[in-house]
Protein backbone atom coordinates (compact mmCIF):
# COMPACT_ATOMS: atom_id res chain seq x y z
CA UNK A 1 0.00 0.00 0.00
CA UNK A 2 1.58 3.28 -1.01
CA UNK A 3 2.42 6.00 1.50
CA UNK A 4 -0.16 8.45 0.17
CA UNK A 5 -3.01 5.99 0.80
CA UNK A 6 -1.70 5.20 4.27
CA UNK A 7 -1.57 8.92 5.12
CA UNK A 8 -5.17 9.38 3.98
CA UNK A 9 -6.33 6.37 6.02
CA UNK A 10 -4.46 7.76 9.03
CA UNK A 11 -6.36 11.01 8.57
CA UNK A 12 -9.65 9.09 8.77
CA UNK A 13 -9.08 6.76 11.75
CA UNK A 14 -6.00 8.16 13.48
CA UNK A 15 -2.50 6.71 13.72
CA UNK A 16 -3.36 4.46 16.67
CA UNK A 17 -6.00 2.65 14.62
CA UNK A 18 -4.00 1.84 11.49
CA UNK A 19 -1.78 -1.26 11.28
CA UNK A 20 0.86 -1.68 8.60
CA UNK A 21 3.41 -3.92 10.34
CA UNK A 22 3.28 -7.33 8.67
CA UNK A 23 3.33 -9.26 11.93
CA UNK A 24 0.44 -7.22 13.36
CA UNK A 25 -1.56 -7.46 10.12
CA UNK A 26 -1.09 -11.26 10.01
CA UNK A 27 -3.52 -11.66 12.93
CA UNK A 28 -6.30 -10.31 10.67
CA UNK A 29 -5.77 -12.49 7.59
CA UNK A 30 -7.39 -15.85 8.30
CA UNK A 31 -10.57 -17.32 9.72
CA UNK A 32 -11.02 -20.88 11.04
CA UNK A 33 -10.72 -22.80 7.76
CA UNK A 34 -8.47 -25.87 8.08
CA UNK A 35 -4.86 -24.88 7.36
CA UNK A 36 -4.32 -27.30 4.40
CA UNK A 37 -7.35 -25.85 2.63
CA UNK A 38 -7.43 -22.15 3.43
CA UNK A 39 -6.82 -19.63 0.64
CA UNK A 40 -3.47 -17.84 0.75
CA UNK A 41 -3.79 -14.29 2.02
CA UNK A 42 -2.10 -11.38 0.32
CA UNK A 43 0.65 -9.90 2.46
CA UNK A 44 0.31 -6.36 1.09
CA UNK A 45 -2.64 -5.39 3.30
CA UNK A 46 -3.26 -2.73 5.91
CA UNK A 47 -5.75 -2.86 8.78
CA UNK A 48 -7.94 0.07 9.78
CA UNK A 49 -10.16 0.21 12.85
CA UNK A 50 -12.98 2.73 12.32
CA UNK A 51 -15.15 3.93 15.18
CA UNK A 52 -18.29 4.90 13.25
CA UNK A 53 -20.32 4.41 10.11
CA UNK A 54 -19.01 7.78 8.93
CA UNK A 55 -15.42 6.56 9.17
CA UNK A 56 -16.29 3.34 7.33
CA UNK A 57 -17.92 5.46 4.63
CA UNK A 58 -14.81 7.63 4.29
CA UNK A 59 -12.56 4.55 4.05
CA UNK A 60 -14.71 2.94 1.37
CA UNK A 61 -15.00 6.21 -0.57
CA UNK A 62 -11.20 6.38 -0.66
CA UNK A 63 -10.95 2.73 -1.69
CA UNK A 64 -13.44 3.32 -4.49
CA UNK A 65 -11.54 6.34 -5.79
CA UNK A 66 -8.25 4.43 -5.72
CA UNK A 67 -9.72 1.07 -6.85
CA UNK A 68 -8.43 -0.76 -3.76
CA UNK A 69 -10.17 -3.92 -2.49
CA UNK A 70 -11.87 -3.79 0.92
CA UNK A 71 -12.37 -6.81 3.17
CA UNK A 72 -14.25 -6.61 6.48
CA UNK A 73 -12.91 -8.45 9.50
CA UNK A 74 -15.34 -9.46 12.23
CA UNK A 75 -14.75 -12.08 14.91
CA UNK A 76 -12.74 -14.38 12.63
CA UNK A 77 -15.05 -17.30 13.39
CA UNK A 78 -15.94 -18.05 9.76
CA UNK A 79 -15.35 -21.43 8.16
CA UNK A 80 -15.19 -20.69 4.43
CA UNK A 81 -12.35 -18.20 4.00
CA UNK A 82 -14.62 -15.22 3.32
CA UNK A 83 -12.61 -12.84 5.52
CA UNK A 84 -9.24 -13.70 3.94
CA UNK A 85 -7.98 -10.99 1.55
CA UNK A 86 -6.56 -12.56 -1.60
CA UNK A 87 -5.60 -9.17 -3.09
CA UNK A 88 -3.64 -6.34 -1.47
CA UNK A 89 -6.53 -4.86 0.48
CA UNK A 90 -7.72 -2.46 3.13
CA UNK A 91 -8.94 -4.70 5.95
CA UNK A 92 -11.66 -3.00 7.98
CA UNK A 93 -11.75 -4.40 11.50
CA UNK A 94 -15.03 -3.71 13.28
CA UNK A 95 -13.63 -4.25 16.78
CA UNK A 96 -14.09 -0.62 17.89
CA UNK A 97 -17.71 -0.50 16.70
CA UNK A 98 -18.82 -2.58 19.67
CA UNK A 99 -21.58 -0.53 21.28
CA UNK A 100 -25.10 -1.72 22.06
CA UNK A 101 -27.11 1.38 21.23
CA UNK A 102 -30.55 0.44 22.55
CA UNK A 103 -32.55 -2.36 24.16
CA UNK A 104 -36.12 -1.37 23.31
CA UNK A 105 -38.30 -3.55 25.55
CA UNK A 106 -41.53 -1.95 24.33
CA UNK A 107 -40.91 -3.00 20.72
CA UNK A 108 -38.73 -5.98 21.74
CA UNK A 109 -35.82 -4.83 19.58
CA UNK A 110 -32.08 -4.49 20.14
CA UNK A 111 -30.01 -1.98 18.15
CA UNK A 112 -26.23 -2.39 18.06
CA UNK A 113 -23.09 -1.67 16.08
CA UNK A 114 -21.71 -4.41 13.86
CA UNK A 115 -18.72 -5.21 16.11
CA UNK A 116 -20.88 -6.27 19.06
CA UNK A 117 -20.27 -9.96 19.71
CA UNK A 118 -22.96 -12.50 20.49
CA UNK A 119 -21.43 -12.76 23.99
CA UNK A 120 -21.77 -8.98 24.40
CA UNK A 121 -25.46 -9.09 23.47
CA UNK A 122 -26.27 -12.05 25.69
CA UNK A 123 -24.48 -10.42 28.63
CA UNK A 124 -26.41 -7.19 28.10
CA UNK A 125 -29.73 -9.03 27.93
CA UNK A 126 -29.01 -10.74 31.26
CA UNK A 127 -29.58 -7.33 32.81
CA UNK A 128 -33.07 -7.15 31.27
CA UNK A 129 -35.29 -9.63 33.08
CA UNK A 130 -37.13 -12.19 31.00
CA UNK A 131 -35.77 -11.42 27.52
CA UNK A 132 -33.12 -13.00 25.33
CA UNK A 133 -31.92 -13.67 21.79
CA UNK A 134 -32.29 -17.22 20.48
CA UNK A 135 -29.87 -17.63 17.53
CA UNK A 136 -26.59 -19.26 18.57
CA UNK A 137 -24.11 -20.16 15.80
CA UNK A 138 -21.77 -21.94 18.20
CA UNK A 139 -19.04 -19.37 18.84
CA UNK A 140 -20.04 -16.43 21.02
CA UNK A 141 -17.06 -14.48 19.68
CA UNK A 142 -18.97 -14.05 16.41
CA UNK A 143 -19.76 -10.41 15.71
CA UNK A 144 -23.21 -9.22 14.72
CA UNK A 145 -22.09 -7.79 11.39
CA UNK A 146 -20.57 -11.15 10.51
CA UNK A 147 -23.67 -13.00 11.66
CA UNK A 148 -25.73 -10.81 9.33
CA UNK A 149 -23.30 -11.11 6.43
CA UNK A 150 -23.19 -14.91 6.69
CA UNK A 151 -26.86 -15.38 7.68
CA UNK A 152 -25.65 -17.39 10.67
CA UNK A 153 -27.60 -20.44 11.80
CA UNK A 154 -26.66 -22.95 14.45
CA UNK A 155 -28.26 -25.67 16.51
CA UNK A 156 -31.39 -23.72 17.47
CA UNK A 157 -32.59 -23.21 13.89
CA UNK A 158 -35.06 -26.08 14.28
CA UNK A 159 -37.20 -23.87 16.52
CA UNK A 160 -36.01 -20.32 15.99
CA UNK A 161 -34.75 -20.25 12.43
CA UNK A 162 -31.64 -18.41 11.30
CA UNK A 163 -30.43 -14.80 11.50
CA UNK A 164 -32.57 -13.75 8.54
CA UNK A 165 -35.68 -14.50 10.61
CA UNK A 166 -34.69 -12.02 13.32
CA UNK A 167 -33.01 -9.11 11.50
CA UNK A 168 -35.41 -6.18 11.21
CA UNK A 169 -33.02 -3.43 10.15
CA UNK A 170 -29.44 -2.78 9.04
CA UNK A 171 -27.28 0.24 8.26
CA UNK A 172 -24.78 -0.40 5.47
CA UNK A 173 -22.04 1.31 3.51
CA UNK A 174 -22.14 0.67 -0.24
CA UNK A 175 -19.12 0.27 -2.53
CA UNK A 176 -19.07 3.99 -3.42
CA UNK A 177 -19.13 5.00 0.26
CA UNK A 178 -22.78 5.98 0.39
CA UNK A 179 -24.81 4.94 3.45
CA UNK A 180 -28.21 3.25 3.49
CA UNK A 181 -30.54 2.53 6.41
CA UNK A 182 -32.72 -0.44 5.53
CA UNK A 183 -35.68 -1.71 7.53
CA UNK A 184 -36.06 -0.67 11.15
CA UNK A 185 -38.33 -1.67 14.01
CA UNK A 186 -41.24 -2.58 11.78
CA UNK A 187 -42.73 -6.06 11.89
CA UNK A 188 -44.23 -5.52 8.44
CA UNK A 189 -42.73 -3.59 5.54
CA UNK A 190 -43.72 -4.51 1.99
CA UNK A 191 -42.48 -1.43 0.12
CA UNK A 192 -40.48 -2.27 -2.98
CA UNK A 193 -37.63 -4.75 -3.46
CA UNK A 194 -36.19 -5.95 -0.16
CA UNK A 195 -32.56 -4.85 -0.42
CA UNK A 196 -31.92 -5.73 3.22
CA UNK A 197 -32.59 -9.41 2.64
CA UNK A 198 -30.41 -9.36 -0.47
CA UNK A 199 -27.50 -8.07 1.61
CA UNK A 200 -28.10 -10.57 4.44
CA UNK A 201 -25.93 -13.60 3.66
CA UNK A 202 -23.96 -11.84 0.89
CA UNK A 203 -20.66 -12.30 2.79
CA UNK A 204 -19.47 -8.72 2.48
CA UNK A 205 -19.65 -8.66 -1.32
CA UNK A 206 -22.56 -6.24 -1.76
CA UNK A 207 -22.26 -3.85 1.21
CA UNK A 208 -20.59 -3.42 4.60
CA UNK A 209 -22.92 -3.78 7.59
CA UNK A 210 -22.25 -1.22 10.32
CA UNK A 211 -25.41 -1.38 12.45
CA UNK A 212 -28.00 -4.08 13.16
CA UNK A 213 -31.53 -4.08 14.60
CA UNK A 214 -32.59 -7.47 15.93
CA UNK A 215 -35.84 -8.75 17.31
CA UNK A 216 -35.55 -10.06 20.89
CA UNK A 217 -37.89 -12.45 22.67
CA UNK A 218 -39.28 -13.54 26.05
CA UNK A 219 -37.07 -16.18 27.64
CA UNK A 220 -38.28 -19.66 28.51
CA UNK A 221 -37.22 -20.52 32.05
CA UNK A 222 -37.29 -24.31 32.14
CA UNK A 223 -34.68 -26.34 30.26
CA UNK A 224 -33.48 -29.92 30.10
CA UNK A 225 -31.65 -32.25 27.73
CA UNK A 226 -32.19 -35.87 26.79
CA UNK A 227 -29.26 -37.97 25.57
CA UNK A 228 -30.34 -41.07 23.65
CA UNK A 229 -28.23 -43.72 21.90
CA UNK A 230 -29.14 -45.91 18.93
CA UNK A 231 -27.46 -48.69 17.01
CA UNK A 232 -27.62 -46.88 13.69
CA UNK A 233 -27.68 -43.34 12.39
CA UNK A 234 -30.85 -44.17 10.44
CA UNK A 235 -32.72 -45.14 13.64
CA UNK A 236 -31.58 -41.96 15.36
CA UNK A 237 -32.68 -39.69 12.51
CA UNK A 238 -36.01 -41.50 12.12
CA UNK A 239 -36.69 -40.90 15.82
CA UNK A 240 -36.02 -37.18 15.29
CA UNK A 241 -38.59 -37.00 12.50
CA UNK A 242 -41.22 -38.49 14.79
CA UNK A 243 -40.32 -36.07 17.59
CA UNK A 244 -40.89 -33.11 15.29
CA UNK A 245 -44.12 -34.59 13.88
CA UNK A 246 -45.44 -35.22 17.40
CA UNK A 247 -45.84 -31.48 18.00
CA UNK A 248 -42.93 -31.23 20.43
CA UNK A 249 -40.75 -28.29 19.40
CA UNK A 250 -37.21 -28.86 20.72
CA UNK A 251 -34.82 -25.96 21.10
CA UNK A 252 -32.18 -28.08 19.35
CA UNK A 253 -31.58 -31.67 18.26
CA UNK A 254 -27.93 -32.58 17.80
CA UNK A 255 -26.49 -35.80 16.40
CA UNK A 256 -22.92 -36.94 16.94
CA UNK A 257 -21.09 -40.21 16.40
CA UNK A 258 -20.61 -42.19 19.61
CA UNK A 259 -16.87 -42.54 19.02
CA UNK A 260 -16.51 -38.77 18.86
CA UNK A 261 -18.54 -38.23 22.03
CA UNK A 262 -16.46 -40.73 24.00
CA UNK A 263 -13.13 -39.34 22.78
CA UNK A 264 -14.19 -35.76 23.51
CA UNK A 265 -15.41 -36.68 26.99
CA UNK A 266 -12.06 -38.31 27.72
CA UNK A 267 -10.16 -35.25 26.45
CA UNK A 268 -12.22 -32.93 28.67
CA UNK A 269 -12.18 -35.22 31.70
CA UNK A 270 -15.96 -35.54 31.62
CA UNK A 271 -18.40 -38.45 31.64
CA UNK A 272 -20.49 -39.31 28.57
CA UNK A 273 -23.72 -40.69 30.04
CA UNK A 274 -24.67 -43.36 27.47
CA UNK A 275 -22.29 -46.18 26.54
CA UNK A 276 -24.29 -48.50 24.29
CA UNK A 277 -25.05 -48.04 20.59
CA UNK A 278 -23.02 -46.08 18.03
CA UNK A 279 -25.25 -43.08 17.23
CA UNK A 280 -26.16 -40.45 19.82
CA UNK A 281 -28.78 -37.72 19.98
CA UNK A 282 -28.84 -34.69 22.26
CA UNK A 283 -32.38 -33.30 22.40
CA UNK A 284 -32.53 -29.91 24.13
CA UNK A 285 -35.85 -28.64 25.45
CA UNK A 286 -36.87 -25.19 26.63
CA UNK A 287 -40.37 -24.43 27.88
CA UNK A 288 -42.35 -21.74 29.69
CA UNK A 289 -43.61 -24.11 32.41
CA UNK A 290 -42.15 -27.05 34.29
CA UNK A 291 -45.22 -29.15 33.44
CA UNK A 292 -44.75 -28.60 29.70
CA UNK A 293 -41.08 -29.50 30.02
CA UNK A 294 -41.71 -32.85 31.72
CA UNK A 295 -44.63 -33.71 29.43
CA UNK A 296 -42.38 -33.24 26.41
CA UNK A 297 -39.57 -35.24 28.01
CA UNK A 298 -41.95 -38.17 28.48
CA UNK A 299 -43.21 -37.91 24.90
CA UNK A 300 -39.66 -37.94 23.54
CA UNK A 301 -38.69 -40.89 25.72
CA UNK A 302 -41.61 -42.90 24.33
CA UNK A 303 -40.67 -42.02 20.74
CA UNK A 304 -37.05 -43.06 21.34
CA UNK A 305 -38.28 -46.38 22.73
CA UNK A 306 -40.34 -47.00 19.58
CA UNK A 307 -37.21 -46.47 17.51
CA UNK A 308 -35.19 -48.99 19.55
CA UNK A 309 -33.06 -46.58 21.56
CA UNK A 310 -30.42 -48.53 23.48
CA UNK A 311 -30.21 -45.98 26.31
CA UNK A 312 -31.76 -42.64 27.21
CA UNK A 313 -30.64 -40.27 29.96
CA UNK A 314 -32.41 -37.18 31.27
CA UNK A 315 -30.01 -34.31 32.04
CA UNK A 316 -32.04 -32.12 34.32
CA UNK A 317 -29.42 -30.31 36.39
CA UNK A 318 -27.45 -27.35 35.10
CA UNK A 319 -24.17 -29.24 35.54
CA UNK A 320 -25.37 -32.33 33.67
CA UNK A 321 -26.60 -30.16 30.80
CA UNK A 322 -23.37 -28.15 30.77
CA UNK A 323 -21.23 -31.31 30.61
CA UNK A 324 -23.24 -32.77 27.72
CA UNK A 325 -23.07 -29.54 25.73
CA UNK A 326 -19.36 -29.10 26.47
CA UNK A 327 -18.71 -32.52 24.95
CA UNK A 328 -20.80 -31.70 21.90
CA UNK A 329 -19.12 -28.33 21.30
CA UNK A 330 -15.61 -29.56 22.16
CA UNK A 331 -15.49 -32.37 19.62
CA UNK A 332 -13.67 -30.31 16.98
CA UNK A 333 -10.53 -30.26 19.13
CA UNK A 334 -10.41 -34.06 18.93
CA UNK A 335 -10.45 -34.23 15.14
CA UNK A 336 -9.07 -30.90 13.87
CA UNK A 337 -5.54 -32.18 13.20
CA UNK A 338 -6.89 -35.07 11.11
CA UNK A 339 -9.19 -33.04 8.84
CA UNK A 340 -8.41 -31.97 5.31
CA UNK A 341 -11.83 -30.57 4.38
CA UNK A 342 -15.03 -30.12 6.39
CA UNK A 343 -18.53 -29.74 4.95
CA UNK A 344 -21.93 -28.39 6.01
CA UNK A 345 -24.37 -29.80 3.47
CA UNK A 346 -28.10 -29.62 4.16
CA UNK A 347 -31.06 -31.65 2.87
CA UNK A 348 -34.79 -31.59 3.66
CA UNK A 349 -35.16 -32.97 7.21
CA UNK A 350 -37.34 -35.87 6.03
CA UNK A 351 -34.44 -37.10 3.86
CA UNK A 352 -31.97 -37.33 6.72
CA UNK A 353 -32.25 -41.09 7.47
CA UNK A 354 -31.60 -42.10 3.87
CA UNK A 355 -29.04 -39.36 3.17
CA UNK A 356 -26.95 -40.12 6.25
CA UNK A 357 -27.00 -43.85 5.55
CA UNK A 358 -25.87 -43.32 1.96
CA UNK A 359 -23.20 -40.85 3.05
CA UNK A 360 -21.70 -43.46 5.37
CA UNK A 361 -21.69 -46.06 2.62
CA UNK A 362 -20.12 -43.65 0.12
CA UNK A 363 -17.26 -42.82 2.49
CA UNK A 364 -16.80 -46.48 3.36
CA UNK A 365 -16.40 -47.31 -0.34
CA UNK A 366 -13.15 -45.27 -0.27
CA UNK A 367 -11.89 -47.33 2.67
CA UNK A 368 -11.88 -44.26 4.88
CA UNK A 369 -14.18 -42.78 7.51
CA UNK A 370 -15.82 -39.47 8.25
CA UNK A 371 -16.85 -37.73 11.46
CA UNK A 372 -20.53 -36.80 11.41
CA UNK A 373 -22.17 -34.21 13.59
CA UNK A 374 -25.48 -32.73 12.57
CA UNK A 375 -28.20 -30.27 13.46
CA UNK A 376 -30.29 -33.24 12.56
CA UNK A 377 -33.81 -31.83 12.95
CA UNK A 378 -33.18 -29.08 10.38
CA UNK A 379 -31.29 -31.28 7.91
CA UNK A 380 -27.83 -29.73 8.33
CA UNK A 381 -24.93 -32.20 8.29
CA UNK A 382 -21.30 -31.55 9.20
CA UNK A 383 -18.82 -34.16 8.02
CA UNK A 384 -15.28 -34.23 6.68
CA UNK A 385 -12.63 -35.74 4.46
CA UNK A 386 -9.70 -36.90 6.56
CA UNK A 387 -5.97 -36.72 5.92
CA UNK A 388 -4.26 -40.06 5.27
CA UNK A 389 -0.96 -40.43 7.10
CA UNK A 390 -0.95 -36.66 7.43
CA UNK A 391 -1.35 -36.09 3.69
CA UNK A 392 -4.20 -35.00 1.43
CA UNK A 393 -5.72 -38.15 -0.12
CA UNK A 394 -5.56 -38.35 -3.90
CA UNK A 395 -9.29 -39.11 -4.05
CA UNK A 396 -10.36 -35.97 -2.17
CA UNK A 397 -11.89 -34.07 -5.09
CA UNK A 398 -13.69 -37.12 -6.46
CA UNK A 399 -15.14 -37.97 -3.05
CA UNK A 400 -16.18 -34.35 -2.47
CA UNK A 401 -18.05 -34.18 -5.79
CA UNK A 402 -19.77 -37.51 -5.07
CA UNK A 403 -20.86 -36.15 -1.67
CA UNK A 404 -22.30 -33.09 -3.37
CA UNK A 405 -24.08 -35.16 -6.03
CA UNK A 406 -25.58 -37.33 -3.29
CA UNK A 407 -26.74 -34.16 -1.55
CA UNK A 408 -28.27 -32.82 -4.78
CA UNK A 409 -30.12 -36.11 -5.33
CA UNK A 410 -32.05 -35.25 -2.15
CA UNK A 411 -32.63 -31.63 -3.33
CA UNK A 412 -30.02 -30.35 -0.89
CA UNK A 413 -27.42 -27.58 -0.77
CA UNK A 414 -23.64 -27.61 -0.46
CA UNK A 415 -23.80 -25.21 2.48
CA UNK A 416 -26.52 -24.77 5.07
CA UNK A 417 -24.56 -22.45 7.37
CA UNK A 418 -20.94 -21.63 6.58
CA UNK A 419 -21.46 -20.01 3.19
CA UNK A 420 -19.49 -20.03 -0.05
CA UNK A 421 -16.68 -17.68 0.91
CA UNK A 422 -13.54 -18.23 -1.13
CA UNK A 423 -13.43 -21.92 -0.37
CA UNK A 424 -16.44 -22.99 -2.44
CA UNK A 425 -16.48 -20.47 -5.29
CA UNK A 426 -15.74 -23.25 -7.76
CA UNK A 427 -18.41 -25.48 -6.25
CA UNK A 428 -21.33 -23.04 -6.44
CA UNK A 429 -21.97 -23.67 -10.19
CA UNK A 430 -22.45 -27.36 -9.36
CA UNK A 431 -25.63 -26.36 -7.52
CA UNK A 432 -26.79 -23.22 -9.35
CA UNK A 433 -27.97 -23.04 -12.95
CA UNK A 434 -26.10 -20.86 -15.48
CA UNK A 435 -29.00 -18.39 -15.40
CA UNK A 436 -28.86 -18.13 -11.60
CA UNK A 437 -25.10 -17.54 -11.75
CA UNK A 438 -25.63 -14.87 -14.41
CA UNK A 439 -28.20 -13.05 -12.29
CA UNK A 440 -25.92 -13.13 -9.24
CA UNK A 441 -23.06 -11.68 -11.29
CA UNK A 442 -25.35 -8.90 -12.49
CA UNK A 443 -26.46 -8.11 -8.93
CA UNK A 444 -22.81 -7.94 -7.85
CA UNK A 445 -22.08 -5.54 -10.73
CA UNK A 446 -24.94 -3.21 -9.75
CA UNK A 447 -23.87 -3.02 -6.10
CA UNK A 448 -20.12 -3.07 -6.70
CA UNK A 449 -19.18 -2.16 -10.29
CA UNK A 450 -15.43 -2.02 -9.55
CA UNK A 451 -15.51 -5.30 -7.59
CA UNK A 452 -13.72 -3.83 -4.58
CA UNK A 453 -15.91 -5.42 -1.88
CA UNK A 454 -14.37 -8.74 -0.81
CA UNK A 455 -13.37 -9.82 -4.33
CA UNK A 456 -13.09 -13.54 -4.98
CA UNK A 457 -15.85 -14.33 -2.48
CA UNK A 458 -19.07 -16.14 -3.48
CA UNK A 459 -18.49 -15.38 -7.20
CA UNK A 460 -15.49 -15.37 -9.51
CA UNK A 461 -16.11 -11.70 -10.34
CA UNK A 462 -12.94 -10.30 -11.90
CA UNK A 463 -11.46 -7.03 -10.73
CA UNK A 464 -10.55 -4.35 -13.23
CA UNK A 465 -7.02 -3.44 -12.17
Question: Do residues 204 and 125 both lie within one domain?
Answer: yes
Could you give the strand order of the β-sheet that contains 179-183, starting from the edge strand earlier in sequence? 100-104, 109-113, 208-215, 167-173, 179-183
Last-in-domain residue among 41, 71, 95: 95
In the β-sheet with 46-48, what is the strand arrangement from edge to edge?
18-19, 46-48, 90-93, 70-73
Could you tell me the mean pLDDT of each successive run of 10 residues in the chain, 465 residues long? 95 98 96 92 96 98 98 96 97 98 98 98 96 91 97 94 97 98 96 98 98 96 94 95 95 95 96 95 95 95 96 89 92 93 96 96 97 96 96 97 98 97 97 97 97 96 66
Shared domain check, 112 and 76: no
Q: What is the CATH number of the domain that holds 28?
A: 3.30.43.10
Number of structural domains the chain divides into: 4
Give the model's pLDDT for residue 462.
Answer: 67
Please write the tens of the pLDDT for every residue from 200-220.
Answer: 999 999 999 999 999 999 999
Please indicate, yes or no, whether residues 42 and 74 belong to a single structural domain of this protein.
yes
User: Residue 67: which domain range?
Assistant: 3-95
Q: Strand 311-315 vs strand 222-230: parallel, antiparallel, or unpaired?
A: antiparallel
* 433 and 374, same domain (yes or no): no
76 strand-pairing partners: none
Query: Do 319 and 415 share a structural domain?
Result: yes
Please indicate, yes or no, whether residues 261 and 286 belong to a single structural domain of this protein: yes
Cα 163 to the chain's mean position, in Å?
10
**Cα diameter, the chain:** 71
φ, ψ for residue 35 (rounded to 5)?
-55, -45
What is the pLDDT at residue 168? 98
Task: Clarify whether residues 213 and 235 are in a common domain.
Answer: no
In a domain, 113, yes or no: yes
Q: Decide which of 198, 218, 238 is a domain's last residue.
A: 218
Please check whether residues 225 and 206 belong to one and the same domain: no
Residues 253 and 349 in one domain: yes
268 and 342 co-located in one domain: yes
Same domain, 263 and 401: yes
Q: Which residues contact 228 (CB under 8 A, 6 or more apart)?
A: 236, 239, 274, 280, 281, 283, 304, 309, 311, 312, 313
pLDDT of residue 465: 57
* 464 assigned to some structural domain: no
On whether both 170 and 80 belong to a single domain, the answer is: no
Residue 93: the pLDDT is: 98
Amino acid sequence: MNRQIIEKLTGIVGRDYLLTDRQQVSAYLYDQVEIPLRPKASEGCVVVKPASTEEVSAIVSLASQENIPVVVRGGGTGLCGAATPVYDSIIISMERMNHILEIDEKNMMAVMEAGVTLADLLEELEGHEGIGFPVHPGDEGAQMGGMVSTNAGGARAVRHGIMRNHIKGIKVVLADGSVLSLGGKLLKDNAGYNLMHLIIGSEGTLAIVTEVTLRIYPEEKYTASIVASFDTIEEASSAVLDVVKSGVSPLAVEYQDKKLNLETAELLGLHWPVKEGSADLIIILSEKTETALYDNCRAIDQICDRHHAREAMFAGTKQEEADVLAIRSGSYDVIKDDIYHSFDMAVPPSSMPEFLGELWRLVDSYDTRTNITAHIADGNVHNDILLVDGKVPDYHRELQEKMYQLCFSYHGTITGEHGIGKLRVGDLPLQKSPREMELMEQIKKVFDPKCILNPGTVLRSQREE
